[in-house]
Amino acid sequence: MKKIHGVALLVAVLFAFTVMPCSAQQADNPAVKPAATEKAEKSDKAAVSGKLNINNASAEQIELLPGIGAAKAKAIIDYRTTNGNFKKIEDLQNVKGIKEKKIEKFKEYVIFEGETTLKAAN
């Protein structure tokens, strides 16, 4: 029984000195970030300025919105073509795959009439 405890203690000590310092370094080092975290931060940060008229914008213009890629831009245009213009921001929830959380990322840039002035920030 003492041998088993000794082996378990040895394994615990080795774990503490090998694995844990690596984890701590990654957590403390801002330069070491998981790829998923970097991607989420990029999509959450708005790199645009201006306004986008969602009712006449092109797919390329819609893709400038934070959190919107090519597939969602196409879905927005397809929905708009089939159902007519959007009247309020909540109408975008009718587009498949666009929920309130996604709308929160870009709602400040969306307008329903007027000129699109949305541009990528430098």
State the pLDDT at residue 40.
44
Show the 3-state SS of the chain.
CHHHHHHHHHHHHHHHHHHHHHHHHHHHCCCCCCHHHHHHHHHHCCCEECCEECCCCCHHHHCCCCCCCHHHHHHHHHHHHHHCCCCCHHHHHHCCCCCHHHHHHHHHHEECCCCCCCEECC
Q: What does the pLDDT look like over 2-43, one tens digit per residue?
A: 555 666 665 665 556 555 555 444 555 555 545 444 444 344
State the pLDDT at residue 121.
83
What percentage of residues in the chain have a pLDDT greater than 90? Answer: 59
What pTM does this model have?
0.63
